[in-house]
Amino acid sequence: MAGMGNRHERAVHALLESGRAASVRGRLYAVPDPAGWYPALVPGAGVVRGRVYRAGPRFNARALARMDAYEGPEYRRGRMKLGAITAYAYVWRGALPRGARRIACGDFRAWLLAHRRRRAFAA
């Protein structure tokens, strides 16, 4: 998520072209961690808002493998329909952990900004 300060996010975004606003069907939750909050997209009714990016010329299979490793076993990378295009998104697997909070607005960045004492995961 651009601009949230995570070093992994910055490394990946350096390999992508500029993003644009997008939405997908599902529900969004915020998962607590000692290093900050992180988003969890789950299938279902509702709208989740964010950004979609196109891979830049330096984005390759190794970069994708690093993204998969960073997201870890809690997520699976899957294809999602975003209107006329198909994109990949990381979808939460299994039950949400204790303390997860539903983000009714469907926008993780907006949720963080509305709750200034909360910060994005920064490991």
List the domains of the chain with CATH numbers.
7-114 (3.10.490.10)
User: What's residue 1's pLDDT?
Assistant: 47
Segment among 24-38, 50-64, 109-123 with least mean pLDDT: 109-123
Do the Cβ atoms of 103 and 30 come closer than 8 Å?
Answer: yes
Above 70 in pLDDT, residue 42?
Answer: yes
Q: How many whole angstroms separate alpha carbon 64 and alpha carbon 25?
A: 23
How confident is the model over 11-26, as a mean pLDDT? 90
Kindly report the number of other CB atoms within 10 A of residue 5's CB atom.
12
Q: How many whole angstroms separate alpha carbon 83 and alpha carbon 22?
A: 9
Q: How far is CA 57 from the centre of its chain?
A: 22
pTM score, whole prediction: 0.86
Above 70 in pLDDT, residue 4?
Answer: no
Q: How many whole angstroms separate alpha carbon 19 and alpha carbon 50?
A: 10
Q: How many whole angstroms separate alpha carbon 6 and alpha carbon 19?
A: 17
Q: How many whole angstroms separate alpha carbon 33 and alpha carbon 26?
A: 22
